[in-house]
Structure 1
Amino acid sequence: MRFPRGTARWIGFVLLMVMVAGLAIPPSMGDGMDADSGLGEPEEASVVRIEVPDREAMNGLLRDGVDLAEYLQETSGGIQLDAVVTPSELEELAARPEVEVIETLFTRKDWEERLEERKETVVREQRVSVMAVDQVTILRAEWFQNDTGTFLSLEAKTDAGIRPDVALTAQWNAGEGTTIDAGGTATMQRFVDAGQYLYHRMLVPVENVPTRVKVSSNEGGEVTGSVSQWLGGKKPNPENPHYVKDFISHYMTPTEIDQRLEAVVAEFPEIAEIVELPNQTEGYRRKSQVIVGSRAESAVVVTSKVWGHEGGNDWAIEVKDPGKPNQELSMDVAKRRITVELATDASGVPVTTAAQLVEALNRDAGDVIKAHLYRGNPGAGVVQPQGLTQLDNHLNAPDSVSREPFTVKAVRIGKHRDGSRLGVLAYSQEHAREWVTPLVSVETIERLLRNYAHDKETRRLVDNLDIFIIPTVNPDGAHYSFYDYNMQRKNMRNDCDEGSADPGYRNRWGIDINRNYAEGSLFDGYTGGSSNCLSDVYSGRSELSEHESRNVIELANQNPNITFAMNIHSYGGYFMWSPGAYKANGRETLPRPTLGEEAFFWGSSERILSAIQEHRGTVIQPGRTGPVADVLYSAAGNSADHLWYQNDIFAWNFEVGADRWNPEMKRWEPVGFQPAFEEGHAEAMEFSNGLIEMMRVALDFNKDKKPPRSHVTPKPGRYKKSVEVQFQVNEPATIFYTTDGSRPTFDSPRYQSSGVREGGETLTFNRTTELKWFAVDAAGNIERNYNPNGKKHNYRRATFTIR
């Protein structure tokens, strides 16, 4: 059936309003786990600031699986950390002599405020969706000339402009008698002031004076008008006359992001495509559960055999006192109801134990449910009657959020998407609660696509790179974070055995995706992951056990042209690279990059961090820049280490959300995982700057064909006593050398740093030594075009004679 134009959008609006209704703040999950008040209610979590005396104490917290945010601050008293803890976990932390609890930073109230803020924005934006097409109006269209050239100034407005995903594209002719697109095409910049949409605008240089202009919206509206001459006007900047940005207005769920990606890619099929990653997630779904009983020793956990949305939520259980003496335990299973009549003694008192009830349920109702005892209790307690109680999967998202396995999508951007260009990978939201991170990815996708037609720098990137961006690696956990439990870090898969599989633990299930990779992992003996399925840094049962982590690695494996990667996390304002993990005993890190590789990481980082600073002045501090293991803590099994050590990819980690200075309190304050959107928006804008600068770094790397140059200090010659020698290079480069007279190769010793965050080591020669070496820069260029696998001797050499 074909609907009249606009009907589909009206239906979509109705569905979206149903979804918006589902944005209401979820009901409270309860405040504790008192046996008499209900065993199935999980505790709420808060973010608290704690202090420990040293890194040994911090590593103890990591070994115990404490959920630490990506935040660390050295103080005169020790190390301050932010921990995500429930009241009972906080009580345990406070009881540890090495831990001082300083303050509570974020609570459920903050989550509720973010959700309400998001709901209001979504409602406002969806009101405009009832239109068949939007109405576009040209406000001003003028050309002018000055001493630098001829320019077109255009202002236009759409009545759907409140939505940042509504884009206006301008086309203009090249004078009378030419087609409307003969002069050029450009995306217009959305102009917002004090939170209110005013209009779209642009200022672009033109070769010929246009007489007609056409403005089209991606929502279907369009208008054509004439261009008049403007005698004055502000002198434009010919270097960058027009660059559009700011395409986000609220925090977005994975479902919204998915729809956004499909829509924007459909507009630019010549330079973008959707890549469906091979491993579907388990899905935003759970089995339905209920706890029979209110005390641990007599409680029974009942779990449906099918998913809650597939019928598990339809089942209920009732436990009755038959009111007669000497009755046997009996059960009726019919019409999605399980009715249990307890056994009684000679005086008519119920005597069925929890263990007996579990056995009977699994025997007589085992086709539809599975029963087990509560948290390892022996089940000796007597079960008490309980009224009809519905099984529930405890999921609160609206029906617009699918319960089926989720297909994770990457956007691939490039004029040549065939592997012939150097590849760049960006991926975000491995951790579900980090709501800002996918906004960085979405904003970057929009900038690359919408600036391509008119911005030379964007064209340079898109024409010469193969760009992959995954906005949300962990969609199931992210949906759960929005609708059920905002501090969800992991995915949603319940990997626990029966002792930890009751609904009171439902906010603690899942696998930490960024502890599940196959390099420097918990399974290799590294610190920072946990084998406890309830820990927020639970690494899973094996490396790469999760669909989400395999998606990232398989994308990299299937596209060996990927040479640069950025993993986007929050919060704390860090910029980091490998090694990201160490073994706490002796602090044995993964192999460190060579001195040249380290120098390349540092040099590139300065460029990227400068681009971040341009937006609002945010400075990622030097003390929060460097290898993860040096500036934060050990993160066993993280993705960047896997990409660096196994795929030879220059892999970085953003931690968006740098502390903000409070001038009244005169202190730095954290922003959290879900700051007010004004702050989250600013973080997305500045780190999108940084992500695009990383692409420029990649392009410059790919075009680097110039070999490095190196020398030694002091100069070679005769010395009366031992001499201390160091290498110097004109760019970041790795040096391979020999001192035994042999020809240097890639198997020769590498020139190393003298220590963590220090310069090059010193080679001490106590006797006459002939030093032979060559330098290799990060792009693979070898000094003097020397071939280490060949037979020529065009390496560098220096002789130090000791007499």
Structure 2
Amino acid sequence: MVGRGSLAAVAASALLLSGGNLAFAHDEIPSSDTALVEVYVNSEADVDALVSAGFDLAEYKRVEADGKIVVNIDADPGERSELRAKGFTIGRTVEDAAHREAVAAERDATREQDQVAKDLARNGVPAGGAKIDGRRAVPLPGETVIQRANRFTNYAGTFLYVEAHNKATTARRAVVNNRNVVVNDGPVQALSFSTDAGATYGDAVTMNIFNDGDVTPPVYMYHRHLIRLTAAQAAVPAGQLKVRVASASGAADEFPVTEWLGETLPPHVANYQQGFFNRYQDPTENRAQLDQLAAEFPELVTPVNLPHLSVGYQRKAQTVLGAWAGAGTTQNPLVPFTNQTGNLTAAEGARAIILTSKDWGHQGGNGISARLTAPTTADQALRVTVAGRAIVVSLATNAQGAVVSTAKDVVDAINANAAATALVTASTYRGNAGAGIPRTGETLTLRDYLNAPSHVQKGPFQQRVYRIGKHRDGSKVGVFLYCQQHAREWTTGLTCVETAERLVRNYGLDARTKELLDNVEVFVLANVNPDGAHYSMYDFNSQRRNMSNHCAPNTFQDPLARNAWGVDLNRNNGEYSRLDGYAGADSSCVSDVFSGNSEYSEPEIQNEKWVVDEFENIKFANNIHSYGGYFMWAPGAYKNDGNRTTAPAPNIGIEKYFFEAGEQILARIKEHRNTVILPERTGPIADVLYSAAGNSADDQWYRKGIISYSFETGADRFLSTSEGTTQQATGFQPCFSGLGTGGQTGTCNSNMINEGRDQAMEFASGNFGMVESAYDYAKDTTAPKTSIEFSAKQTMGEPINFRFNWDDEAAVIYYTTDGSTPTLSSRTYEAQRARGIGEVLTISALGVHDVKWMAVDIKGNQSPVQSQRLLIAADQEDGTVGGSVPATLALNVDGGSFGQFIPGVAQTYTAESTATVISTAGNATLTVADQSANKPGHLVNGAFSLAQPLQGLGVIKTWDAPVSNDRVTVTLSQAIGRDEPLRTGAYSKTLTYTLSTTQP
């Protein structure tokens, strides 16, 4: 901000401003009613004069297409009138007084909210206020619900991560209006949390809001916060540590803290081998190393050529003739084309002729030359001559000797010349009309601009997947590990190679490794994107995509656009893709998330798809990317439909499995150098990162049922000092060792030395953990154990809340509440919301409720059906209506009999009884239930029971008014199958008939 001059200095100024062509001195003290406005001036001299005159110019300036300069000035009404009087045009108002007052009021209100929330988080909700949900048994979810509270320790200290959702919060949307105005739309609910270190809650901190801003409008996801714990807090066992989250509204929740990555892992042997690389390697080198591994250990490794060759590390040779590249500035002057990328100016684009060789560069296209000449005589015709591999174009002149050939004329002439078209194709620049007169004189040579060393093969690449294991016949559970879909992610290919080397070379040394490879088959594809990776390593470091060029003719087909070609292979799959309407992929051929023109269009993704389709034993997969340190799974995409509709989210039992298996995998990552993948970066791709329509993890999970993960190597480095902790991103290509050539210190700071090597090492350990998870899956034959938790077993009319718990492993829970036996088609127990905890279920109808459930783990092991009886009974106290009629619920029951059961005959028997009902209540319900502990719901004969349940139990009849001597027929039925054994004697069961009411 350029400050206002002092009054004395301003009064002494006398300036000539070109905007009004009048000399004036600005010597007014501004009022408080100022506004930030756009002012149009004619020159830089006007800007300097306004500053000297004491006007308050903001640090903002832009130049319009007509040469006008726009500045922002903070001016009151008098100053604005003064500016207009001198001939300056005032444009948009960026900020007025009302806007500033509103922003200040919002600031103060939010500050008050923050303080209220902090006080409640630290001290709890006062007596008489809103209850803290955590104080009730199986409470209904309140306004604020904690989703997770995790403590972890890494190389930088001990940290606490808390995540909570607040139903009253909506996303804050920043809208840029008229270039500068920021409008905040939607209320923000302040959440704060404090930590109980075993005695009292400490100071509270305000949590951060996580909005998904990739959708329109943005969607509020949840609040989250990561803090470094004090030594006292870190010393408290995790099981004794709690957090309390509170909102300014008074809504609060309490939650126990769990240890993140606390699993104890089987150790490796002392001479465990690792570290099978000493620098970044390209795909050719990775393939050669794995080929050598297969040749050395044929009993453990089988290389398999994939059916589709890549497009190849190859390009046609090109040049730009007749136009100069650059922006025409001092820093970026116009010069003849050599190897520039970007765009031509409009004027140069009209002159340009794009030449593209017919042959690939390495097959003859490189080395063709071209030159434009301007004759010195008048009335010359346009001519094209070819001598060997040299093309010379002589431009046409008019009667005055001036060149008249346009770029389009030259293009047509070259394409009409048989000798020239045997070598090249000519076109104008990106569909330009080509009306400009080309520049002449320079001889330019066509090149493919590929600079890889000689060991890198030009042309299509033969990809291989390596089958690793003692039994490579599909009989063992398979794990598919694949790396470097994105070319610039250099650490990932090393991760796959290191994983393969460790598994194979430690087979005879490490008992754990042998156990894994005897029971699991591992498939390794080190470089999904070999062409793009070669291009990234030797030509354009930022290359993300492959080298397919799907741009249409007359668009981006010139060499200036060569760094913008390619398909994002992790957007090219078929499940929940861009073509299905999902977000996160682009149809533009020069977008970094270009998904291709059709699903599975790219040979690299066809190979990836072939692997999982061909080898049906693959049940686990891991797609390894960088950077940021993420561990993710499906769903990976959502629609930008205003509701952020994701691909179907897995059941909470499945998501729990992803988390539980992930704990082992992440613990292996941690063991290398104490790196912890953060809880906030662990979860579904769509919830912790962004939408990635057409990604591989979704394709494998939804299409094949493969437990498919996505790694992002390169976790942020934590930098902790006595003043606090910060996080530093590592980038796609972190320093491998930190040293330059000749032993000189390179550009790496002390926190990034050996970073590239360490990332590949620690995530190879993570891959080992994934193989361990597959082994655990293969050996799992035990049914999961689950239990029910409820607010009360019996109430007098009050609803009962309940939820299910997983006692030993994750599983999908199927349940009923009407006493029927649950099946795989029954209702499933779900999460409260995305990344949320389990839902709280409620029953409120009077009577007996038999909740039955079973659980099925991800392997398919199914538990027996369990049952819990819950009773909501009527209030039994006597009362009167009008002082004369006693409250009466009278019930008289006549019994019934099924008669004689006949063995060996399939038959359904019935028995009828009569219940006589008298009720003076406003409503009444008659139920029949079996409350015995011996085979509930079944007729019994001593220790024996009938196989099929007794039918007809439950609610028999309801009344919504008083009733007298109403006779109700109760019909019970018992089915007995032809092959069901029957024991001699009487089968019976005492049933409980209950008449209840909620309106005595």
Q: Scaled by the length of structure 2, what TM-score is found?
A: 0.55
Conserved 8 A contact 1:516-1:544 = yes
SS at match of 1:327: coil
1:657 aligns with 2:686: no
1:728 aligns with 2:805: yes
Conserved 8 A contact 1:317-1:338 = yes
1:697 aligns with 2:773: yes
Q: What is the CA distance between 1:593 and its match in structure 2?
A: 0.8
The 5 A counterparts of 1:99-110 are none
Deviations 1:462-521 (A, max 9, x none): 111111011111010000011001110000111112311111111111100111111121
Conserved 8 A contact 1:253-1:478 = yes
Conserved 8 A contact 1:477-1:491 = yes
Q: What's 2:668 paired with?
A: 611
Bigger Cα displacement from structure 2, 477-486 vs 312-321: 312-321
1:737 aligns with 2:815: yes
Instruction: Supply the AA of the counterpart residue of 1:368.
Output: L
Q: What is the CA distance between 1:527 and its match in structure 2?
A: 1.1
Q: What is the CA distance between 1:660 and its match in structure 2?
A: 0.9
Note closer, same or farther for the CA distance 1:55–1:337 as it changes in structure 2 (3 Å cut): farther
Conserved 8 A contact 2:354-2:427 = yes
SS at match of 1:314: coil
Equivalent of 1:711 in 781, 787, 791:
787
Q: What's 2:864 paired with?
A: 784
Aligned partners of 1:418, 1:483: CA distance in 2, in Å? 39
Q: What is the CA distance between 1:524 and its match in structure 2?
A: 1.0
1:297 aligns with 2:350: yes
Greater RCO structure (CA 8 Å; 6+ sep): 1
Q: Kindly report the root-mean-square deviation, in angstroms, between the aligned alpha carbons of the 2 structures.
A: 2.8
Aligned partners of 1:396, 1:240: CA distance in 2, in Å? 44
Q: What's 1:246 paired with?
A: 275
Instruction: Supply the AA of the counterpart residue of 1:589.
Output: T
Bigger Cα displacement from structure 2, 627-636 vs 707-716: 707-716
Conserved 8 A contact 2:551-2:589 = yes
Deviations 1:49-74 (A, max 9, x none): xxxx979779xxxxxxxxxxxxxxx9
Conserved 8 A contact 1:723-1:766 = yes
The 5 A counterparts of 1:582-661 are 582-585=638-641, 586-661=643-718
Note closer, same or farther for the CA distance 1:481–1:539 as it changes in structure 2 (3 Å cut): same
Equivalent of 1:501 in 541, 548, 557:
557
Note closer, same or farther for the CA distance 1:380–1:417 as it changes in structure 2 (3 Å cut): same
Aligned partners of 2:662, 2:172: CA distance in 1, in Å? 26
Aligned partners of 1:55, 1:695: CA distance in 2, in Å? 42
Equivalent of 1:406 in 448, 456, 461:
461
Equivalent of 2:407 in 354, 361, 375:
354
The 5 A counterparts of 1:310-709 are 310-364=363-417, 365-497=420-552, 498-585=554-641, 586-663=643-720, 666-677=725-736, 678-709=754-785
Note closer, same or farther for the CA distance 1:604–1:486 as it changes in structure 2 (3 Å cut): same
| Structure number with larger C-alpha Rg | 2
Aligned partners of 2:497, 2:697: CA distance in 1, in Å? 21
Q: What is the CA distance between 1:559 and its match in structure 2?
A: 0.6
Q: What's 2:315 paired with?
A: 286
Aligned partners of 1:571, 1:54: CA distance in 2, in Å? 27
Note closer, same or farther for the CA distance 1:387–1:734 as it changes in structure 2 (3 Å cut): same
Equivalent of 1:765 in 843, 848, 851:
843
Aligned partners of 2:268, 2:495: CA distance in 1, in Å? 25
Q: What is the CA distance between 1:537 and its match in structure 2?
A: 0.8
Conserved 8 A contact 2:821-2:865 = no
Deviations 1:252-281 (A, max 9, x none): 011111111111111100111111111110
Instruction: Supply the AA of the counterpart residue of 2:351.
Output: S
Equivalent of 2:824 in 746, 750, 763:
746
SS at match of 1:459: helix
Q: What's 1:775 paired with?
A: 855
Conserved 8 A contact 1:707-1:785 = no
Instruction: Supply the AA of the counterpart residue of 1:461.
Output: L
Q: What is the CA distance between 1:762 and its match in structure 2?
A: 2.3
Q: Scaled by the length of structure 1, what TM-score is found?
A: 0.68
SS at match of 2:371: strand
Conserved 8 A contact 1:770-1:799 = no
Q: What is the CA distance between 1:643 and its match in structure 2?
A: 0.7
Deviations 1:699-755 (A, max 9, x none): 111111111133333276565233223222322010223456665333333221111
Aligned partners of 1:742, 1:394: CA distance in 2, in Å? 71
Note closer, same or farther for the CA distance 1:391–1:686 as it changes in structure 2 (3 Å cut): same
Aligned partners of 2:210, 2:683: CA distance in 1, in Å? 20
Aligned residues: 576
Conserved 8 A contact 1:743-1:793 = no
Q: What's 1:46 paired with?
A: none
Instruction: Supply the AA of the counterpart residue of 1:780.
Output: G
Instruction: Supply the AA of the counterpart residue of 1:517.
Output: N
Aligned partners of 1:81, 1:737: CA distance in 2, in Å? 37
Conserved 8 A contact 2:366-2:446 = yes
Note closer, same or farther for the CA distance 1:450–1:282 as it changes in structure 2 (3 Å cut): same
Q: What's 2:869 paired with?
A: none
Aligned partners of 2:709, 2:535: CA distance in 1, in Å? 27
Aligned partners of 1:667, 1:740: CA distance in 2, in Å? 54
Note closer, same or farther for the CA distance 1:343–1:54 as it changes in structure 2 (3 Å cut): farther
Note closer, same or farther for the CA distance 1:554–1:388 as it changes in structure 2 (3 Å cut): same
Bigger Cα displacement from structure 2, 682-691 vs 280-289: 682-691
Instruction: Supply the AA of the counterpart residue of 1:264.
Output: L
Aligned partners of 1:254, 1:356: CA distance in 2, in Å? 44
Instruction: Supply the AA of the counterpart residue of 1:446.
Output: E
Percent of residue pairs identical: 46
Higher helix share: 1
Aligned partners of 2:842, 2:213: CA distance in 1, in Å? 42
Q: What's 1:154 paired with?
A: none
Aligned partners of 2:830, 2:769: CA distance in 1, in Å? 28
Equivalent of 2:289 in 242, 246, 260:
260
Aligned partners of 1:554, 1:461: CA distance in 2, in Å? 25
Q: What is the CA distance between 1:247 and its match in structure 2?
A: 1.2
Deviations 1:227-271 (A, max 9, x none): xxxxxxxxxx99834311111110001111111111111110011
Q: What is the CA distance between 1:78 and its match in structure 2?
A: 7.7
Note closer, same or farther for the CA distance 1:75–1:412 as it changes in structure 2 (3 Å cut): farther
Instruction: Supply the AA of the counterpart residue of 1:680.
Output: G
Aligned partners of 2:815, 2:409: CA distance in 1, in Å? 74
Deviations 1:614-643 (A, max 9, x none): 111111111111111111111111101111
Conserved 8 A contact 1:351-1:383 = no
Q: What is the CA distance between 1:305 and its match in structure 2?
A: 1.4
Aligned partners of 2:756, 2:954: CA distance in 1, in Å? 58
The 5 A counterparts of 1:77-156 are none
Instruction: Supply the AA of the counterpart residue of 1:465.
Output: V
Aligned partners of 1:404, 1:238: CA distance in 2, in Å? 45
